[in-house]
Amino acid sequence: MVKDFMQDPQDMRRQGDGDRAASAPAYEQAKGDPEWEAEFENMFGKAANPFRMYVRQYLADRSIGYTTIGDGRNTMGDSRYAAADAFETTDAEGGAEVRRAMPEA
């Protein structure tokens, strides 16, 4: 069992900012590479066009996946901010909402 519980709300907010910042590369990857897609036929020739439908499906699924990752990181950042606010509120109210508090605590 933990003897001392020390949580710094400002540290949680910093971590939340880090999570939100980490979502930007995922959103950037979700955009794909339009130049590469435009040059597909020039790179691989007309014979590769039947394969192109599989590439398009892969790129669409990839975009959805990276967007989901970015959304998850943003949600994690929001959760860290909400937890920091909850810690501060509980502390301000004298810990009245802390469950199973012992009389000597």
**pLDDT tens-digit series, residues 31-85:** 988 888 888 889 888 888 888 889 889 999 999 999 999 999 999 999 999 988 8
Instruction: Indicate the length of the chain as a whole number.
Output: 105
Helix (H) or strand (E) holding 17: helix 9-30
- Number of C-beta neighbours around residue 79 at 10 A: 13
Q: What is the CA radius of gyration of the chain?
A: 24
Instruction: Determine the Cα–Cα distance for residues 102 and 11; give it in Å rounded to an integer.
Output: 28
Give dist(CA 95, CA 89) in Å, integer.
9
pTM of the complete model:
0.71
Predicted pLDDT of residue 84:
87
Angle between helices 49-92 and 9-30 (to 10 degrees): 170
